[in-house]
Amino acid sequence: MDIKSAEEAKRRLSQVGIESAMADMAVKKMPQVFVFDELSSSNQWVVENLQLLSAHEMLCITDSQTCGRGRAGRDWCSPAASNIYMSFTITTDRVPEIASISLVIGLALVKSLSKMGIDGLALKWPNDVLLDSKKLAGVLIEAKNYNGRLVLVVGIGINVDMSAGINLQSELGWADLSAVGLSAADRNDIVARVYSEYEQLISQFLDKGFASLREEWERHDAFMGKSVKVIENNKVLCEGEESGIDDRGCLLIKTDAGVKAVHSGDVSLRIKHEN
């Protein structure tokens, strides 16, 4: 194997690498791990293969996506051997506070990456993780009914190495983990750490509700106390001072008419001076 091939092999995602890292982190409920070189999207693959669900949840990771999606069908830049595109299932007999699931996942991302020594992380309601005020990761959640149970398909995209001049557009600009010392070769470990942290938080969430995590989420709130506007269908829904979230995960905006609680839906949160 030549030097170039050896480097590509090191950067490659692997089922064995992910499962080994999860075992080291003592993940209590190991999922079924599926790793692919390329998919249209990891979320779509999980949705189309729910028949594989067993006593164990599913975790799908792909090296690249041809039709990666963010919220509201927006494209998610998905080049090969560079970033993390992962999706997993949450199967439950009862309907949890679905609107706040993305907040739980975002918190799991911040906590897991912080434990890897990454500073400057913050959360942007409802589904973005920021690094030094720029977009690092996003969360997409789809709810499906399968065999009489609710299955949530959680998709996560994390920018790890965007050094190849990738054209990625974001209203906040983008950040990646290579700027703080990680690389594509660390992706197996990052996936395992994120899932391990998620497993701990989701157990608390399903047992005690989002109220038990609200204050911790707010400690990482990037826009707390700032003048913001909430955009829905290209129109300003409301504007005022961002005042954190409530026990259901709704965003609280202090307006001239009082405090307004905003549900996630298809809305965008922006600093007031932005277009």
Q: CATH 2.30.30.100 region(s) of the chain? A: 227-271
Residue 270 appears among annotated catalytic residues = yes
What mean pLDDT is predicted for residues 155-164?
Answer: 87
Report whether pLDDT(153) > 90.
yes
Report whether pLDDT(201) > 50.
yes
What mean pLDDT is predicted for residues 206-227?
Answer: 95
- 12, 248, 254, 270: which is the annotated catalytic residue? 270
- 11, 69, 124, 135: which is the annotated catalytic residue? 135
Instruction: Give me the pLDDT at residue 33, please.
Output: 98
Please answer whether residues 41 and 157 qualify as being in contact, where contact means their C-beta atoms are separated by less than 8 angstroms.
no
Can you tell me the distance from the alpha carbon of 168 to that of 150, in angstroms, rounded to the nearest whole number?
Answer: 34
State what percent of residues in the chain have pLDDT above 90: 68
Q: CATH 3.30.930.10 region(s) of the chain? A: 3-218
Instruction: Give me the pLDDT at residue 233, please.
Output: 82
pTM: 0.90
Residue 11 appears among annotated catalytic residues = no
Q: What is the rounded average pLDDT for all residues in the chain? A: 87
Domain 3-218: CATH architecture, name and number where available: 2-Layer Sandwich (3.30)
- 11, 71, 187, 229: which is the annotated catalytic residue? 71
CATH 2.30.30.100, domain 227-271, yes or no: yes
Confidence of residue 148 (pLDDT cuts 50, 70, 90): confident
Q: Give the containing element (helix H, strand E) for 262.
A: strand 258-262
131 CB neighbour count, 10 Å cutoff: 22
40 CB neighbour count, 10 Å cutoff: 15
Residue 135 appears among annotated catalytic residues = yes
Please answer whether residues 152 and 141 qualify as being in contact, where contact means their C-beta atoms are separated by less than 8 angstroms.
yes
